[in-house]
């Protein structure tokens, strides 16, 4: 995957969405390898496709954060609003509720998050 990312980077792509699958060590290794291959100029986001339980999402995202990921898309099941809030409050990366049901509480929750700090 890192080699494919390098090819795209060499063609001018600078923003990458990395699919992860809920296996913490494997997912962190994938992000680390891509960051190492691309260097600091690439923008990395993660799409977890609801593959983590909250505890594992917190662990994975915390371990990925040093690799400068900018956003994590739907780390927990869409119907686990409490888990999504738990993750969002615990990690230093913006979490997106991409597949969560659009209810008043999720809209309020999502809008309460601030933008990531400028580096």
2-29 per-position pLDDT tens digit: 999 999 999 999 999 999 999 999 999 9
CA distance 22 to 103: 26
Contact by Cβ (8 Å): 30, 1: yes
Whether 17 sits among the annotated catalytic residues: the reply is: no
Write down the catalytic residue from 19, 55, 85, 118: 19
> Given a cut of 50, is residue 112 above it in pLDDT?
no
Q: Which residue, 67, 73, 86, 28, is CA-closest to 46?
A: 73
Task: Find the range with the poorest average confidence among 6-10, 21-25, 77-81, 85-89.
Answer: 77-81
97-111 per-position pLDDT tens digit: 877 556 655 555 554
For residue 20, give Cα distances in angstroms to 27, 48, 50, 102, 119: 5, 5, 10, 24, 25
47-71 per-position pLDDT tens digit: 999 999 999 999 999 999 999 999 9
């Amino acid at each position: 995957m890192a080699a494919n990312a390098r090819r795209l980077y060499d063609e001018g792509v600078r923003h990458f969405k990395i699919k992860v699958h809920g296996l913490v060590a494997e997912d962190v290794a994938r992000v680390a390898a891509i960051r190492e291959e691309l260097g600091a100029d690439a923008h990395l986001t993660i799409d977890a496709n609801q593959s983590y339980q909250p505890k594992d999402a917190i662990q994975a995202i915390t371990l990925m954060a040093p690799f400068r990921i900018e956003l994590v898309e739907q780390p927990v099941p869409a119907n686990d609003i409490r888990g999504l809030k738990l993750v969002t409050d615990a990690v230093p990366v913006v979490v997106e509720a991409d597949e969560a049901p659009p209810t008043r509480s999720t809209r309020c929750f999502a809008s309460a998050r601030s933008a990531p700090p400028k580096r």
